[in-house]
Every structure is written in structure tokens, then in C-alpha cells.
């Protein structure tokens, strides 16, 4: 077994993913699903007067994940 098999990239871990070409780039709907779900849950169920401000750390994690795959949100 080669050493490459030990570092299989995952769709939720852009740091482990190798640089991709335009043809190999995944669809935006297929990456960062956990981060997106947490962001949406925070925004929907926040009791803060400004949910966007209250959920800023969660939103930033989602943006950072998407940026790791080459998507600008």
C-alpha cells in the first residue's frame, strides 16, 4: 500500500485536498455540508436581534471551508 492512500482528501477537509483543476473542482453543493448545516441552524434558530452578527464565527467557518475549495462566498 502506498503512502498516498493514508492521506485521502475528504470533501469536508479542504486542507487535505490537493490543488485541483477546473475540471476536477467539486460542485459547491457537495462540499462543506456540515459547516453549511451549522451555519443555517444558527441563523434560523438564533434569538439575537442580529442573527448574522451572533452567528459570525459559524458563518466564517463556512466561508473558510468554501474558500479552501476555490469558491468565493
The runs of H, that is alpha helices, within 1-73 are: 33-45, 51-54, 56-68
Q: Where are the domains of the chain?
A: 34-73
3-state class (DSSP) for residue 30: helix
- pLDDT of residue 3 exceeding 50: no
Distance CA 70, CA 58 (A): 19
pLDDT of residue 73: 87
What are the φ and ψ backbone dihedral angles of 13, each rounded to 5 degrees?
A: -130, 85
Each residue of 11-57: pLDDT tens digit? 555 555 555 555 688 999 999 999 999 999 999 999 999 999 999 99
- pLDDT of residue 6 exceeding 50: no
pTM (2 d.p.): 0.67
- pLDDT of residue 8 exceeding 50: no
Amino acid at each position: 500500500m502506498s503512502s498516498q492512500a493514508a492521506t485521502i482528501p475528504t470533501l469536508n477537509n479542504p486542507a487535505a485536498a490537493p490543488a485541483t483543476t477546473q475540471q476536477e473542482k467539486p460542485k459547491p453543493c457537495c462540499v462543506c455540508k456540515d459547516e453549511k448545516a451549522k451555519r443555517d441552524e444558527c441563523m434560523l434558530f438564533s434569538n439575537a436581534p442580529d442573527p448574522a452578527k451572533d452567528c459570525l464565527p459559524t458563518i466564517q467557518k463556512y466561508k473558510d471551508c468554501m474558500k479552501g475549495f476555490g469558491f468565493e462566498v
